[in-house]
Amino acid sequence: MFNVEKVTGDCVLWIQKFFEENGKGCNAVVGISGGKDSSVTAALCVRALGRDRVIGILMPNGEQSDIDCARLLVDHLGIKHYVVNIKDAFDGVLGAIPKELTISTQSRINLPPRIRMATLYAVSQSCNGRVANTCNLSEDWVGYSTRYGDAAGDFSPLAHLTVTEVKAIGHYLGLPASLVEKVPSDGLSGKTDEDNLGFTYAELDRYIREGVIDDLSKKDLIDRKHKANLFKLQLMPSFDPGF
């Protein structure tokens, strides 16, 4: 049974232990999108380390329609933050690729998260930081993340928590409801995450935690996505000569 008070407290202690063992005195660097995951991650880090040791990085790609949500979060938490617009980097990479190579739509979608992660590490290494991974269990389960993009990081507070549980923690921590309940979208097609996935997070979370789902076609879709994307959650295969 999920106990939001206990899980939140345990997660705070886990973050404190991580920094004690892997970066005593370091700062938590969090990419701030204005959605529930980055909001809850940042709030947990503030609870664990204090606001003076949490740095938020806002990374629009040109114009970002919901940038006000990200600003609301950093203002609400009172944390130091920087805005790094990645549009020039994004355009630069695309412009540097030879014209005879056709860039796929998926490549264009995944490039910004990878540039953002490179940006987070550039900031982190310049301010004695450790980069927070903000992915949750639900998204990871079906591969809804970008490898070496938002799926990267130094520590991951939400990796074993479903979307439903992350939202509960957000409300428990007193975050603005507009951030916790913000409907996630890909920012490109105008579709929500759930539109793209083909099922709701409520359906997915129930299936993950209880093994129950009413629509068998959605069960099959979830199972196929989970199997196809397991490699994202595993260490990179490496040759062992057996010496």
Q: Are 8 and 172 in contact (CB under 8 A)?
A: yes
In whole angstroms, what is the distance from residue 106 CA to residue 136 CA? Answer: 21
The topology under which CATH files domain 4-183 is: Rossmann fold (3.40.50)
Structure tokens at 127: 């301010």
Q: Which residue has the tokens 């009172």?
A: 78
In whole angstroms, what is the distance from residue 216 CA to residue 206 CA? Answer: 14
Per-residue pLDDT reduced to its tens digit, 103-120: 999 999 999 999 999 999
Q: Which residue has the tokens 């040109």?
A: 62
Can you give the length of the chain in residues? 243
Q: Are 29 and 152 in contact (CB under 8 A)?
A: no
> Which of the 8 DSSP states describes residue 102?
P
In whole angstroms, what is the distance from residue 63 CA to residue 65 CA? Answer: 6
| Whole-number pLDDT of residue 235 | 87
| Whole-number pLDDT of residue 187 | 59
**DSSP H or E stretch at residue 169:** helix 163-172
| Whole-number pLDDT of residue 188 | 57
Helix (H, G, I), strand (E, B) or coil at 129: strand
| CA distances, 180 to each of 39, 101, 163, 165, 170 (Å) | 8, 40, 10, 11, 6
The residues, any chain, with a CB within 8 Å of residue 22's CB and separated by 6 or more, are 130, 154, 155
The residues, any chain, with a CB within 8 Å of residue 207's CB and separated by 6 or more, are 213, 219, 222
The closest alpha carbon to 60, from 40, 79, 34, belongs to 34
Q: Are 51 and 73 in contact (CB under 8 A)?
A: no
Structure tokens at 153: 């990081």
The pLDDT averaged over each successive group of 10 residues in the chain (243 residues) is 96 98 95 96 98 98 93 98 97 95 93 97 97 97 94 97 98 97 72 89 97 96 96 90 93
